[in-house]
Amino acid sequence: MVAAASVVVAVGTATGMLTALGDDDGGTDEARPEVTRSPRLHSLPVVPSPSPSAKPSASASPSASASVSAPAKKAGPSPSRKTTPEAKSRATPASTRLYRHPESQVLSWVRAHPDDPRQDVIRSRIADHPAAVWFADYTPSTITSRVRAVTSGGAAEGRVPVVVPYAIPDRDCGGHSQGGAPDLDAYDDWIDLFAAGLGSGEVVVVLEPDSVAQAECLSAGERADRFASLARAGRVLKDANPHARVYYDAGHSGWHAPAKQAGWLKEAGAASAASSDGIFSNVSNFHTTADEVAYDRAVLDALGGPASLGAVIDTSRNGNGAPPDGEWCDPAGREIGRTPTLSTGLGRIDAYLWVKLPGESDGCKGKPGTFTPSYAYDLAR
């Protein structure tokens, strides 16, 4: 995997292709894996945020019978700019409008370990917050019903779910998170089925982490085919649900230059209101919120397109910024970042999200994609 990509391991972008399973009953730290063109919306609400920017982090959480969680992104090839870490005590309050799916690996662990001394910290600082739900397994027969279970749950509560389709062919360039659909025709069919489960309520779609930023491993022809399929995917998703907000992969601030990333994003449909609401960055990574805000705005400026296009940033593990040595696999000294919210108070920044669920391992402190309580506790305390 390229030094800036997410990690999933035959199990998703980063490390989240596993269903909600916790550690075994004995309380050990090894988790038990089970792999498993439309009208535009009005803008997401924007209100002032009481806290300063912090460094962003990595990806998602699994859930329900349909979900899998996200892999961790490797740190970018160039070192991050030094920025002041964001204090946890000043984290942005979680938006009550974001949906917390009732099934995830961390929730399963919390329920199964009421007497573990780490439980209260992990529950209050991680499990109680909304996170994305990943769909990283290529299962056409069940994908519609599994997506519908999540979106209908959010609609019932009047909240906004975040879903992550992660099945593009040649995913992760054959690295830890390899997998996906057998070919682009099969992927197009899978996306049709995914879209059929979106319902009619508000939903945020983080479309295929690493699919654009990590496309350099493909030939020019293969890239063009992938980008055409991604542009089609955005149109299909927004046709199926006019209230769906679809965001495209911008990598992160330590990876490609904004102009290069924007050029690829344009080919993938991210500049068209028929398929896109903007971009996402920092999935499964650790770069500061301040760095990602500056980078995303530069990418959007280079991208062009409607002024309504915005960005969402994964802040799940970026509270202390990226490690100076560029380590990407469960690096020590990281912290959870800003809590998920649809109200950032910043222009063109639509949301801070937890795309990768904090505590899901990149593969060094636990099996890739599985919840590892010791890692979660280190991030949260």
From 23, 249, 362, 378, the catalytic residue: 362
Provide the residue type at 157 as one letter: E
Q: How are strands ordered across the β-sheet holding 349-353? A: 133-135, 162-165, 203-207, 244-249, 278-281, 310-314, 349-353
- DSSP-based three-state secondary structure for 303: helix
**244: three-class secondary structure by DSSP:** strand
Q: Are the C-beta atoms of residues 61 and 134 closer than 8 Å to each other? A: yes
CA–CA separation, 218 and 226 (whole Å): 9
If you ran DSSP here, which 8-state letter would residue 40 be given?
A: P
Greatest alpha-carbon span in the chain: 55
* 210 labelled catalytic: yes
| Rounded distance between C-alpha atoms, residue 376 and residue 26, angstroms | 17
Residue type, 152: S
Instruction: From 377, 381, 295, 376, select the one nearest 58 (Cα to Cα).
Output: 376
210, 277, 314, 350: the active-site residue:
210
Residue 247 near residue 207, CB atoms below 8 Å:
yes
Q: Is 116 a catalytic residue?
A: no
Is there a contact between 177 and 15 (Cβ–Cβ < 8 Å)?
yes
Beta carbons within 8 Å of 47's beta carbon, 6+ residues apart: 343, 345
Q: Residues, the chain, total? A: 381
Work out the burial of residue 215: count CB atoms within 10 Å of its CB; fewer than 13 is exposed, 13-18 middle, 19 or more buried. Answer: buried
Judge whether 362 counts as a catalytic residue: yes
Q: Which member of 23, 137, 170, 172 is catalytic?
A: 172
**Spatial separation of the C-alpha atoms in residues 377 and 142, rounded to whole Å:** 34
Active site residues: 172, 210, 362
